[in-house]
A and B are shown apart, each in its own frame.
Chain A
């Protein structure tokens, strides 16, 4: 196989590859063996500890499913609330008026620079202090608030990058046929950029799902990770519970990631679109404070 970094391989390189493979297999086997023996030493491989997940539905219906429901509920709520906020902020950052553009930029940069957990801790204290939301509901409100504040800022950047990714001719043609600024945005740019930024929005959903776990670990929000904690207390199966929870998270997020890249490929190949697509990878870049003109140019 030939690539950017190396040529098609001759006999010597092939022999060296076999050697590398052998050494790597040995190292990997040693690692697996070490993990196996240390788990076995502590009795973590006992069937009784794994049994709850494979026989009967108690573990699933009492702990995992309610936890997963809360995880998905918080993620969905956060996305649904953050999307319109993000769209407004993103469009505001593109405004011709300085007094709209600058405050929107400040808000976006501020919330992108702060960890979600700090926003969640702020949220839970805020609701405890100034509202009479019951203490059972407070964690959910705080988690969603933290996620919304942070993700609205990131989504604002996605919206802005999505609009800027469109070919210039779209806005120019719209102005040329006499549309007003608001019509250009509403009738021409936004509808096209929505498809352009769909992959990026789906990948941001992965970030949201992952961040809900913070609520479980720090704010007593009963989501999937904290249900693992409860199971560990009940069954005493730390390794088994963590494995199952991790697998569920991987399954949910991997399907979202795959969906995003499928969508991206489809949109890039599509005949009807302008070909401007904000890739699923763009979110990593847009989540960091600072200007990312290169991203818009790249498209």
Chain B
């Protein structure tokens, strides 16, 4: 029944999807945290930069960004991210594009976590004489991080689904393989079911488990 799978490396394609997801997740967590720090920090110029970056990137389709990394950065400007193998270059470019895009959403998720902390918490902490770093370290950030778990989970799930956009520049991930398979094989429904199931397996448990964790750790108000 599943003989149409022969000759195709479905697991390998999904492994690429997972790799894209994990690498982009780490990268966008770092860059997104920096952006969030800029957006909530006291330096007006950095605040402005963070706001402009987020608003620009959120409103551009990810497809445009990913295609630009290939056609613009690689073909036109000759940026190859330290590799000469085209597959590796495309993979790294896709990660770069995903990081640039997803970090805007990470920034907003972290900011929304900070926004859930009532101002009274910081005021009370200052009133009992805690220093600036103590206020952040002991009172504000612990609450903010706990409230960010839920929104960050949603960003991670969206990222998992967004890795398929790498198909636009030929990265050999799940959607690319699915396109090849439905074009060459007769069994449209079983093939689609396999790939749909793969994504359900990747996203649904993440949503349920991390969603549950997020609800557990979030500060009840």
Contacts and interface: CB of A to CB of B under 8 A. Distances in A.
B154 A287 contact: yes
B43 A21 contact: yes
A239 interface: yes
B77 A225 contact: no
B40 to A, nearest CB: 6
B154 A214 contact: no
Given A5-B114, A216-B63, A287-B158, A239 B76 contact: yes
- Which 6 A-B pairs give the minimum distances between C-beta atoms? A290-B207, A217-B168, A253-B59, A213-B61, A210-B61, A213-B63
Interface string A247-278: 00110011001000000000000000000000
A254 B60 CA distance: 9
Contacts of B122: 4-5
A111 B179 CA distance: 18
B196 A114 contact: yes
Interface stretch (B3-11, B85-93, B197-205): B197-205
A69 interface: no
A12 to B, nearest CB: 11
A2 to B, nearest CB: 9
Contact of B76 (A17, A238, A288): A238
Contact of B42 (A17, A42, A211, A242): A17
A159 B62 CA distance: 26
B71 A238 contact: yes
Interface of B: 40-46, 49, 55-56, 58-64, 66-68, 71-72, 75-78, 105, 108, 112, 114, 117, 119, 121-122, 126, 132, 136, 140, 150-151, 153-155, 157-158, 161-165, 167-168, 174-175, 178-179, 182-183, 188, 192, 195-196, 199-200, 203-204, 207-208, 211, 215, 218
A28 B43 CA distance: 14
Nearest to B218: A294
A5 B40 contact: yes
A290 B211 contact: yes
Interface string A104-127: 000001100111111001100110
Contacts of A214: 61, 63, 165, 168
Interface in A135-174: none
Chain A, interface SS category? helix
B49 A28 contact: yes
B34 to A, nearest CB: 12
A129 B188 contact: yes
Given A214-B165, A253-B59, A113 B199 contact: yes
A242 B183 CA distance: 30
Given A115-B164, A254-B59, A290-B208, 17 more contacts: A4-B114, A5-B41, A20-B46, A24-B43, A113-B204, A115-B175, A117-B164, A117-B165, A206-B59, A214-B63, A242-B67, A246-B60, A249-B64, A250-B59, A288-B154, A288-B207, A289-B157
Contacts, number: 185
Contacts of B44: 21
B151 A4 contact: no
Interface in A79-112: 109-110
A187 interface: no
A6 interface: yes
Among A17, A115, A129, max chain B CB count under 10 A is at A115
Contact of B154 (A9, A39, A250, A285): A285
B119 A4 contact: yes
Contacts of A24: 43, 45-46, 49
Given A4-B122, A250-B60, A121 B154 contact: no
A177 interface: no
A191 to B, nearest CB: 29
A210 B63 CA distance: 8
